């Protein structure tokens, strides 16, 4: 909520509900900044407590949580748009680490050595895309989170079927269809946006009822594309 201009000037990023510079002239959102230290604390604690015998993936996961915390402090402390990516990009890699860990959960690798490399490159490419457009940040994070929630539900439905039928079955596989639909749609929207950017167009991410996104072109850019 933009109420007072402080040390960092007018906000250029997403402006949250907390009143700006209400507590400190040097910190845009004091309580959002202060609470971000929780991410650093749990990240460091998790890294220390799981440093031996748990695997590098989990150490990396806790370190990434710490980076999210530092990024969140910088972002909420300044409300400057480029800094908005300082917590958004680590979130993407954190979700990819979780995705890798859920899929590669046995002693022998299911997908081979290429899998973490592909995930890293995927995260790197989309991180580059995020830097150029605010709407892509929200779409990417939302689509990834919904996909992971759906995938976890898919695994629970598959591996714990008998237990699920002993209670009121929440139909997790059906919810997987919903989450996969949203994620597939979001991924194609991101690819469309990226191609139009490369072609020198002026695409924008728009939202319909805060649920579904779509790409909008300026009038002068609307023409047939092969």
In this structure, are residues 213 and 143 in contact, taking their beta carbons and an 8 Å threshold?
no
**Contact by Cβ (8 Å): 146, 179:** yes
Is residue 39 classed exposed, middle or buried when 0-12, 13-18 and 19+ CB atoms within 10 A define those classes? buried
Does 113 count as an annotated binding residue?
Answer: no
Query: Is 29 annotated as ligand-binding?
Result: yes
**Token match 């650093």: residue?**
40
- 2 labelled binding-site residue: no
Any binding-site annotation on 177?
yes
- Which segments of the chain does DSSP mark as H helices, in order? 30-35, 37-49, 56-78, 85-103, 114-132, 134-159, 161-165, 172-198
β-pairing, 212-216 vs 204-208, is: antiparallel
| Residue 159 is labelled as binding a ligand | no
Q: Is 18 annotated as a binding residue?
A: yes
For residue 15, say whether it is annotated as part of any ligand binding site. Answer: yes
User: CA distances (Å), 110 to each of 89, 107, 122, in order?
Assistant: 27, 9, 19
84 known ligand binder = no
| Radius of gyration of the chain from its Cα atoms, rounded to whole angstroms | 20
Q: Which residues define the annotated binding site for Ca(2+)?
A: 15-16, 18, 20, 29
Q: Which residues define the annotated binding site?
A: 15-16, 18, 20, 29, 76, 173, 177
Q: Which residues define the annotated binding site for Zn(2+)?
A: 76, 173, 177
């Amino acid at each position: 909520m933009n109420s007072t201009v402080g040390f960092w000037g007018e906000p250029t990023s997403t402006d949250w509900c907390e009143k700006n510079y209400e507590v400190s002239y040097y910190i845009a959102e004091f309580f959002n900044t202060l609470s971000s230290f929780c991410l650093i604390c749990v990240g460091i604690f998790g890294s220390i407590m799981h440093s031996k015998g748990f695997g590098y993936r989990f150490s990396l996961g806790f370190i990434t949580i710490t980076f999210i915390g530092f990024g969140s402090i910088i972002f909420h402390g300044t409300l400057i748009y480029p800094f908005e990516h300082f917590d958004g990009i680590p979130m993407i890699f954190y979700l990819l680490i979780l995705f890798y860990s859920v899929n590669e959960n046995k002693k022998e690798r299911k997908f081979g050595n290429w899998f973490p490399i592909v995930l890293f490159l995927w995260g790197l490419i989309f991180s580059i895309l995020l830097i150029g457009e605010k709407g892509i940040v929200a779409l990417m994070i939302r689509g990834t989170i919904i996909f992971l929630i759906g995938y976890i539900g898919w695994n629970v439905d598959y591996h714990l079927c008998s237990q699920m039928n002993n209670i009121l079955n929440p139909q997790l596989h059906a919810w997987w269809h919903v989450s996969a639909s949203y994620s597939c749609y979001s991924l194609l929207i991101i690819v469309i946006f990226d191609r139009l950017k490369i072609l020198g167009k002026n695409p924008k991410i728009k939202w319909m009822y805060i649920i579904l996104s779509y790409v909008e072109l300026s009038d002068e850019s609307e023409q047939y594309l092969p």
